[in-house]
Each structure stands twice: as structure tokens, then as C-alpha cells.
Amino acid sequence: MPIYEYRCTNCDEEFEVMQKINDAPLTECKECGGELKKLITNTSFVLKGSGWYVTDYPSADREKAAKKKKSASAEKDTKSGQKIDSGKEAVKA
């Protein structure tokens, strides 16, 4: 449920209320009986970074580019003489 913020025009009391989207807005202050105004405030939910949609749902072109970049990076490491750890341990006989 969304949280809405209200301010009384009479006593300047500010408070938050959890309401359904379909609920009617509050109109009367519980403290003094004055008129309430609904405030518009910033949300606490923020998306940051390169974008969740891009990383979670890549297009076919992005998938191809990512695979190409990954294989080019692996090829570069092999040419430079670095040993690539595949994450598997070798078993000695």
C-alpha cells in the first residue's frame, strides 16, 4: 500500500498515512479539525546504475555483443600467457 503525506493548513501538523490507491483522501486534521492538503513527496525507491532492464532482459543484439566481448577477452588472456582458472580443480592420478 502506498504511503501518503498530509499537512494541516491550520496547525501545520505533518503526518504519513498508509492508504489504498482507491481510498478517498483525508480532509480533516485529527489534532485540530483543520483542512488537510495532500503533499507530493519523493519516493524512497530509486533505481541506480546502468539499468536493471538492460541487464535482466537483453536484446538479441546485446547478447551477441556480450558473447563476442567475452570471447575476445578470453582470447586476449590466452595470448598474453596468463592461465585462465576455469573454477575446476585438476584431479591427480
pLDDT of residue 82: 55
Residue 10, in any domain of the structure: yes
Residue 45, in any domain of the structure: no
Residue range(s) defining the domain that contains residue 30: 3-39
Q: Are 51 and 38 in contact (CB under 8 A)?
A: no
Residue 57, in any domain of the structure: no
> Is the pTM value of this prediction over 0.85?
no
Number of helical (H) and strand (E) elements in the chain, helices listed first: 2, 3
Residue 81, in any domain of the structure: no
pLDDT of residue 46: 72
Per-residue pLDDT tens, the chain, 93 aa: give them.
788 999 999 999 999 999 998 999 999 999 899 999 999 887 777 777 666 665 566 667 777 877 887 777 776 666 665 555 555 555 555
Task: In whole angstroms, give the CA distance from residue 67 to residue 58.
Answer: 12
Residue 29, in any domain of the structure: yes
Number of domain units in the chain: 1
Which conformational region is residue 8 in: left (phi greater than 0), alpha (psi within -120 to 50 degrees), or beta?
beta
Task: In whole angstroms, give the CA distance from residue 80 to residue 71.
Answer: 14
What are the cell numbers at 85? 582458472
Q: Which of 13, 14, 17, 12 is nearest to 1 (CA)?
A: 17
